[in-house]
Amino acid sequence: MTPRTALGALHIGALMFGLTGVLGKLAVASPAVIVFGRAAFAVLALAFFARLASQTPWQKLSTGDYQRLLLSGLLLAGHWVSFFIAVKVAGVAIATLGFASFPAFTVILEGLIFRERIRFNEVLLVALVSIGLVLVTPDFDLASQATSGLLWAMGSGLLFALLSLNNRASSGRVPAVQAALCQNLVVGLCLLPVAAPELGQVRAMDWLWISLLGIFCTGLAHSLFVASLAVIKARTAAVVFALEPVYGITVAWLLFSETPTLRMLLGGALIIVAIVVSSRLSAGSGGQAAPAASGSH
């Protein structure tokens, strides 16, 4: 990859991740079925990529690796299920922006779990996300779908932050594609008992949306991300992946007429700024937190 093609691959990957909520809404199926199908198709796509990229090292796993990958798979399953519940309840825009709160959760949990001092810039990040979330929800009423959906989306963001920290604890010993494949395999096995009774009722068109979700928005998007990071700096990738909510909300606006209010746009802008700040801080300290984490969304 040249830097130009790598940058193009990043934008395509960000667009695909942004379409996650859109395809989840198009599929008339329960969140459990959507997540099971997504994981199954993602395993096939990632296995194909791993086979295609023969230079990708395949790590022999230890007992500790299996335990961390199992935990990551469980967190990923919870993250996806809660995200698609939010999409069904409140729509793509609120679900996407609620999930985008995960950098703030990451900062708080990182300080608690790894006992790292929280810097002023990170406090500002949490404040921006908090204000953005207040603006995104029209009125904080637990009986309203918007508030309920936002809370599900924030729960999705919390689980995603825990997933990111668990991946950090593994110190990158397992190659990214291998880890993603194993995590998706865990997700599929976890959701199979719940999804199995409903699989026969899923329409052919819904299988199309779910297969696109698994192959393109998960397998291919993650593969493009991993390949581009060999050429592009992590902080550049962070800025590109901050566009993920923009892509998702724009497509939802065009397809479902989910017209965002001025208040929601302002809240979304604050959250996106927070994502960029968080990612640049992580990249500047030697990490790849936000974009690397986005590879599993």
Nearest to 24 by CA among 211, 291, 264: 211
Percent of the chain having pLDDT more than 90? 31
Phi/psi of residue 67, nearest 5 degrees: -65, -45
Contact between 267 and 256 (Cβ < 8 Å): no
Fill in the DSSP letter of residue 144: S
Q: How far apart are the first and last CA of the chain?
A: 24
What pLDDT was estimated at residue 291? 43
What pLDDT was estimated at residue 288? 46
Q: What is the pLDDT of residues 108-139, one digit of tens each?
A: 887 777 776 767 777 777 788 888 887 777 66
The 3-state DSSP class for residue 295 equals: coil
Q: What is the pLDDT of residues 258-281, one digit of tens each?
A: 887 888 888 888 888 877 776 666
Residue type, 289: A
Alpha-carbon span 77 to 199, nearest angstrom: 18
What pLDDT was estimated at residue 186? 96
In tens digits, the chain (297 residues) has pLDDT values of 677 888 888 888 888 988 999 999 999 999 999 999 999 999 998 888 777 765 556 778 888 888 989 999 999 999 999 999 999 998 898 898 888 888 778 778 877 777 767 677 777 777 888 888 877 776 666 667 888 998 999 999 899 889 888 877 665 677 778 888 999 999 999 999 999 999 999 999 999 999 999 999 988 888 787 777 777 776 676 667 777 888 888 888 888 888 878 888 888 888 888 777 766 665 555 444 444 444 457
What pLDDT was estimated at residue 296? 55
CA distances from 285 to 14, 212, 223, 282 (A): 23, 35, 24, 5
What number of other Cβ atoms are within 10 A of residue 217's Cβ?
26
Read off the tokens for 223. Answer: 């593969």
